[in-house]
Amino acid sequence: MGKKIVCTGRGGTGKTTFVALATKYLSLHPLLVDADSDQNLAELLGVDLQKEAVRTISDILFDIQKGKGSEELNSMPLPDKLEYLLNADCLYESEKFDMISIGVKWTRGCYCSPNNLLRSIISKIAGSYEYTIIDSPGGLEHLNRRVISEVNDIFVVLDPSKKALNNIERIKKIASEIGIHFNNLYLIANYRFNENAVEYLKNINENYLGKIEYDPDLEEYNWSGRSLLDLAQDSPAFSSVKNIMTKAGYQAGS
């Protein structure tokens, strides 16, 4: 069974950038799950999902709730319908990675049954990949309901603020309360940390793995819409993510 990684953190810390660069480092055609409502992961990887006619999971749930779709689909049992639509409409496939986006249009109504089915379907799909990397918002509340409940490692990307440090304990508490089981929770400093802040973080938590270094090329790539997978191997940001992943026990191409 493949490894499942969650990257989380408050908005603007750089967690989606970390996911993109971790994808570049692992280079083993991972499955990426964009569970963040901002839905920026595809853009950082140079992909326009709308142009590619790839839908979000919340899109297909909305259609199911409203009874939209062909008569043949509407006559399908819900588990079969969800699995078919997810594979046919929501799975973006490329040479370097595949991706599923959860989406934001979660409509009112009872989703207990679809949520349970989604979790089993996504877990089933993830089983075909050596790595599944989940880009999650700062709160993990939705993960057990909609995505997955068993992960190997959680990477928390922090900015140098009291709120970010408080969020560490909140993440642990929420994970425990909603039943997210994980092996390790690692801390990563974003580029705004100075030396004193980095030393403080090292001293308060033994699971600190390193800092994502500032990289002007990364900013240029973001502005121009170029894929971060194309960053140079000696990019400061990519080099720091390589070091972080190596410390966590992940080897490139293995």
| Overall number of domains in the chain | 1
Assessment of whether the complete model's pTM goes beyond 0.75:
yes
Residue 8 sits in a domain of what CATH number? Answer: 3.40.50.300
- Element of type H or E holding 216: helix 216-224
Tens digit of pLDDT at every position of the chain (254 positions) = 689 999 998 888 999 999 999 999 998 899 999 988 788 999 999 999 999 999 998 888 888 877 777 777 778 888 888 889 999 999 999 999 999 998 875 545 544 455 677 778 888 899 999 999 999 876 666 665 557 778 899 999 999 988 888 888 888 888 888 778 899 999 999 999 999 999 999 988 889 999 999 999 998 998 998 999 999 999 999 999 999 999 999 988 65
> What is the three-class DSSP state of 31?
strand
Inside any domain, residue 230: yes
- Structural domain including 27 reads 3-54+130-247
The reply to whether 63 falls in a domain is no
Which of 182, 157, 159 lies closest to 172 in space, CA to CA?
A: 182
In a domain, 87, yes or no: no
In a domain, 125, yes or no: no
Quick one: how far is CA 77 from the chain centroid? 29
